[in-house]
Amino acid sequence: MEFTVVTAEDGWTIENLLRDRWRLGRKIVHEMRMQDAVKAPDGGRTRWNEPLPAGTFLSIRTPDAKSDYVPETCELNVIHDDPHCLIVHKPAALAVHPNEPGGTGTLMNRVIARFGPYAEHVHRLDKGTSGLVLIARHPVAKAVFDRMLEEKAIRRTYVAETAGAFKKRSGTVSAPIGRDRHHATRRRVSPSGQHAVTHYDVIREDGDRAIVQLELDTGRTHQIRVHLAHLGHPIIGDVLYGGRLSGDGSYRLHAERLSFIHPFTGKSLDIEDSVRPEWLP
């Protein structure tokens, strides 16, 4: 895949762009150098350590890559699509990716069928969680978005329906999460677990139910589910963490929004899922 970028200020070199702005790893930068992957739009060669004036156009060819997902043509709701990334809606009860090579029946099987040969998810949602998933469309984008996620430059907003009336309508849960040694798939708040931070705001209460908006600083397995249960407000339908049954057997957690500065265009993206769960007011 090829795309064009424009230098934003005087004095930048190709090395600056790849290593400092996009902060790509040595391996991928070396591979791009060996493939002569950065050129002037007319095809001419540009020295990687040559300072360039602002407004210089560069043509970048990403390393060849192919994802291992088996294509599977099924319904796919694409909320945002550009040459570098996709944002797609994942229905509840659909896994993001297979757990083993050659697996099918997941979101990524659907994505690769439409957008292959390369696509990789930047983050995951639990199988029972619905909402937005960010997907990189080439290896350079995957490396950049992975770094942005790690550095909290991608804002992820969720909503959940929970049980019980909150004493505090907003707050932050900073509680480490680790495995529950008594259950193969469950997690728990544990002093020896991984650092995990969740911010919450109660946006609506109705009797013993509440709609809560949440944002993540970290992305631990089952983080929101564990932290809400730790507060004494498990998600309705999330029986793994003590929630009471919902009418349809699912649990009520939805990834409703993704916000970030696009690393390749510089534009601010604030994407809201156009598919709303029935339980949201």
Active centre residues (catalytic): 126
- The kind and range of the H/E element at 32 are helix 26-34
SS3 (DSSP) at 225: helix
Distance CA 171, CA 28 (A): 41
Distance CA 280, CA 210 (A): 11
The HSE-up count of residue 147 (CA atoms within 13 Å, CB side) is 15
E strand intervals along the chain? 2-6, 38-39, 57-61, 77-81, 85-90, 120-121, 130-136, 155-163, 170-174, 177-179, 187-189, 197-206, 209-216, 253-261, 268-272
Distance CA 163, CA 229 (A): 10
